[in-house]
Amino acid sequence: MSETREAVAQDDAARQDKLYRIRHSTAHIMAEAVLRIFPDAKFAIGPPIDNGFYYDFDLSRSLKPEDLTEIEKIMKQIVKEDHPFEKRVISRDEAKERFQGQPYKLELIDAIPPGDEVSLYTQSAFTDLCRGPHVDNTRRIHPNAFKLLSIAGAYWRGDEKRPMLQRIYGTAWEKPEQLKAYLDHLADVERRDHRKLGKELDLFSIHEEAGPGLIYWHPKGARIRVAIEDFWRQAHLAGGYDIVYSPHIGRSWLWETSGHLVNYKDIMYSPMEVDEQDYYVKPMNCPFHILMYKTQTRSYRDLPLRWSELGTVYRYERSGVLHGLLRVRGFTQDDAHIFCTPDQVEEEILEVLRFSLRIWRAFGFSDIKAYLATRPEKAIGEPERWESAIAVLRRAIEAEGLEYEVDEGGGAFYGPKIDLKIRDALGREWQMTTVQFDWNLPERFDMTFVDSDGKEKRPYMVHRALLGSIERFFGVLIEHFGGAFPVWLAPVQAVVIPVAPAFHDYAAAVAKSLSSKGFRVEADLSDNRMNAKIRSAQTQKIPYMLIVGGNEQDAGQVSVRTRNGDQMNGLPQEEFAALLDEKVKSRADV
């Protein structure tokens, strides 16, 4: 590292440490405020976290949102009262004496490893069992740079058999400007929430009563999916892939052979019995592609085979972790398997990475980071094979000039992998693409190819999911664009709005003509006033509004208004069609 970069890194570490102390200390101050309102409160833990802190309490009644306002008010007082944070190291016995009546703290004391020191931190009237570190005085906390955010239930020690506690989350910063920026960010996250936009834009729904974690794609969501899938299929065919289809269920034989019933049974849906045989809904597509591979003797000349499938799979996830489109039980992977000779694998990996980046850029994501996962402790395959495969992955990442981190020991037992994480418009990182070596399945299924020396050898197998799952990708896409999709993805690309009922026929004709050219165009012929129609189109984030009245009708034109407020009056219909075509082809915004 250069000296300046080192200095920056140290600076960063110091800032992180400062924020850590601020957040940790604010958690203690919040605990003191809670103690003032609830003198018999029982205290659990209160750590700093990313962007803030929380504290878990056992209280005589449920907290209400108004309580947060009151607690915050008391916190501001405590801050101004100018109390030092004082550390004291005490004996275990003294600590147990000190925390009589605080069962959670007593449990924590018992959990401190023998030999470790037991320390207390005190500010004002509140003393906590705590390792620190803290700021030196409550005045180091800016009274306008923290805020309490929410109340949640949390099991003691995350164990659902232990008591349910009340958790208060808060955020804390050095300066009020930073707090404001963070709250703005949170508001933006909330505005873009795909569950909220999914409802407002009528894209998808989930029906708990019919099965949690299963996605229903409404017509407008499905239009976007069709656009994604059409693009995906064309790109794959042009990129040297074949497309295959495989069944949704397979007999237990298949999953025993693949090892899924040993390694992944807990994520598989229970079997269904047909003809006294157990059939399982597929959690992965791989074994099906392998059976297709094995229908012929494969020569080295036939390889590589690149088989892709939009394969719908089902995996059991605990209902508590399901989250909109982002964590589901049924999803469609944009899967592919590459079967190749060991000599071909490097070029194949390079090409997979190049191809992935092309696709990501087409969807408007250019901030992409790679994570290289290496050999875990328990692994199959000789160490040399791992090393050469990891070297291949590393060379591919470097050839594409990607920033990357190495996740030492983070690979699956059957091979190393690259994960790609993309950064969205809000700066959040999402793990999407996986490129994974597999030395397990070719063995289990005894896959072979005949090499140039006439000998039967094992092919290499690489799993690759690029977007990951169409459902999760859709969720990320909705939040990234905040529902204002680029023209090529927008479910309705333009809406024709007549200024008065007299122009309904012309509006319908314009919509029909554009639709016949393959664009997604509707006419709003409702009884609403023109302004209401424009508002409704804005709410739906439709890229173009085509306003038509007498002048437009006489000249065969449209007056265009974009969702960004730009205006183009008196555009001939063909010119608008050409504009739309250009935007779709370049995958641009309006």
Point out the residues that are catalytic.
Answer: 286, 315, 333, 335, 337, 417, 463
Candidates 233-241, 249-257, 283-291, 545-553: pick the segment binding Zn ion (CB under 5 A).
Answer: 283-291
Nearest distance, CB of residue 286 and Zn ion, angstroms: 3
Determine whether 543 is exposed, middle or buried from the number of CB atoms within 10 Å of its CB (0-12, 13-18, 19+): buried
Nearest CB to Zn ion, comparing residues 239 and 482: 239
Nearest distance, CB of residue 293 and Zn ion, angstroms: 12
370 is a site residue for Zn ion (CB under 5 A): no
Give the residue, chosen from 68, 118, 254, 286, that forms a contact with Zn ion under the rule CB under 5 A.
286
Nearest CB to Zn ion, comparing residues 306 and 463: 463
Phi and psi, residue 548, nearest 5°: -130, 135
Give the rounded distance of the alpha carbon of 175 from its chain centre. 30
Nearest distance, CB of residue 441 and Zn ion, angstroms: 8
Q: Enter the tokens of residue 398.
A: 């470097």
Nearest CB to Zn ion, comparing residues 130 and 203: 130
Count residues near Zn ion (CB under 5 A): 3
Nearest distance, CB of residue 405 and Zn ion, angstroms: 24
Candidates 261-269, 415-423, 460-468, 542-550: pick the segment binding Zn ion (CB under 5 A).
Answer: 460-468
372-to-413, 421, 427, 441, 556 alpha-carbon distances in Å = 14, 11, 21, 21, 58
Residue 58 DSSP SS3: strand
CA distance 59 to 402: 50
Task: Answer whether 498's CB lies under 8 Å from 532's CB.
Answer: no
Candidates 182-190, 281-289, 338-346, 500-508: pick the segment binding Zn ion (CB under 5 A).
Answer: 281-289
Long-range interactions of 260-269: CB distance < 8 A, separation 24+: 260/284, 260/287, 266/316, 267/315, 267/316, 267/317, 268/315, 268/316, 269/314, 269/315, 269/316
Three-class HEC string of 346-375: HHHHHHHHHHHHHHHHHCCCCCEEEEEECC
Long-range interactions of 220-226: CB distance < 8 A, separation 24+: 220/491, 220/492, 221/474, 221/491, 223/491, 223/520, 224/474, 224/477, 224/485, 224/489, 224/490, 224/491, 225/470, 225/474
CA distance 392 to 387: 9
Nearest distance, CB of residue 572 and Zn ion, angstroms: 51
Task: Answer whether 172's CB lies under 8 Å from 146's CB.
Answer: yes
Nearest CB to Zn ion, comparing residues 132 and 376: 132
463 is a site residue for Zn ion (CB under 5 A): yes
Nearest distance, CB of residue 397 and Zn ion, angstroms: 21
Nearest CB to Zn ion, comparing residues 254 and 484: 254
Nearest CB to Zn ion, comparing residues 292 and 406: 292
Residue 152 DSSP SS3: strand
Q: Interface mask (CB under 5 A) for Zn ion, residues 91-130, using x and -?
A: ---------------------------------------x
Candidates 234-242, 286-294, 384-392, 530-538: pick the segment binding Zn ion (CB under 5 A).
Answer: 286-294
Helix-then-strand count for the chain, H and E: 18, 28
CA distance 395 to 57: 51
Candidates 138-146, 377-385, 463-471, 544-552: pick the segment binding Zn ion (CB under 5 A).
Answer: 463-471
Q: Interface mask (CB under 5 A) for Zn ion, residues 130-169, using x and -?
A: x---------------------------------------
Candidates 212-220, 368-376, 401-409, 462-470: pick the segment binding Zn ion (CB under 5 A).
Answer: 462-470
Nearest CB to Zn ion, comparing residues 167 and 463: 463
Place of tokens 């997979």: 352
Nearest CB to Zn ion, comparing residues 130 and 197: 130
Q: Where in 239-268 is the site for Zn ion (CB under 5 A)?
A: none
Nearest distance, CB of residue 303 and Zn ion, angstroms: 17
412 is a site residue for Zn ion (CB under 5 A): no
Residues near Zn ion (CB under 5 A): 130, 286, 463
